[in-house]
Structure 1
Amino acid sequence: AALAAESASRARETVRETARASAAAESSAPKRADWMLVPPSSDDWTSKVDPTKLKTRKFASGKGAKAPGEKSGISAIWTETPEEKRQRLEDEVLGRKEVATNSGKGESSERGKEGVDEEEQKAIAKRIREYNEKNRGKSLVEQHTGRNGGKEEEDDPSKRGFDKEKDMGLGGRVGHVQKQEMLRKAGDFGSRFERGKFL
């Protein structure tokens, strides 16, 4: 009985020593700061800064580096621990938190904001167009065609030197109809590109 008690006490002591050793190894093992492990969020200051104007900087050591930001959105799913996942699912099932989906409230409010912004942009564009029509003169193309009366010059071969392309009917000669079509298409280039934003 004494032998069994002695071996049991040795076993307990070795278990304690193993626990102490693992605790010491854990505490002495180097740990990375949270900012190294967590991906940057979309509301981070780096998303607002022009990357061409960034200066060289050191590792984060200020208040922001020590206090981890609140996890939210899709990026939180990538870095959450099993306990956090269990808690999140529990909260969603019990209705404490809203389920995070791609078509959440935030996006619908953004869409609504875009719609209002788009209407405002259209109103500003209309005012600018009206102002330009009222206060500005004709474009150079309109002035030039108005000066000639919209007619092409008569091409009399006897009044000019020999031109092989014109006189022999060679090459890609642009006729009057083709020229008008090209001018009409060129005048409509503004509709093919995104309009500028005025705000």
Structure 2
Amino acid sequence: MSYGPALPPHLLKKREAPTDDDGPQQPAPKKRNAPIGPARPNQPKARDDDDFGPLPPPAGGPEQDEEYELALKVKEIEERAKRRQEEDEESRREKKLERGDWMLVPPEAKGGKKNIIDSSGWTASPLDKGKKKAAPKNEPLPPPPVASAQDKSTRKYVDQYNEKNRPKSLLESHQVEFAKTKLDTDDVSKRAFDRDKDMGSRRIDGKSRQNLIEQSKELDSRFGHGKKTFL
């Protein structure tokens, strides 16, 4: 006879059920001890970046196929851009920038009077000037350009026509008038000191000498007492 609360029926059956394991039980397996010494390095995992050629299509539905095609396009665009950048850098290193002649040399004059003056110095580069200085100086110089017979006859005809049919310009007429007035009047107050003109002896001819003598005789009567008498 038991006192106190009774066990539930399902627990009571499990408690009364006989066990098959009779006798001592086997000990639990021991844990494997860690190896002594340094451990091996982890092997690197395989990466997809080192693969060459197109990747095999993944096994999956249409969504995975679209993602795979998009990844292939992106990779192709990146490779193309990288290849173009390398080509540009290589061409920039090898090729030197040079300007064309149309940017450096002026165009030739068409029509009109030909210029016979050497104007090559306007477009000469520092390299050309250095070569010109380093050239030997004993070489004979090229002959100066000579005007043709047609140019001479044309210039002569133009000068004759201007003398006959065209009056002098305003500047030329003023220059002629100024030269005439300068020869006629010599105002000392309007010019600088001139030793030859101001201190040099003037030549006196016979007529002017006689006039000076006659004028000097009248100095007595001019500065003396008057002949007239007043009341």
Same fold (TM over 0.5): no
TM-score, length-scaled by structure 2: 0.21
Give the TM-score of the pair, scaled to structure 1: 0.23
More helix by percentage: 1
Larger Rg: 2
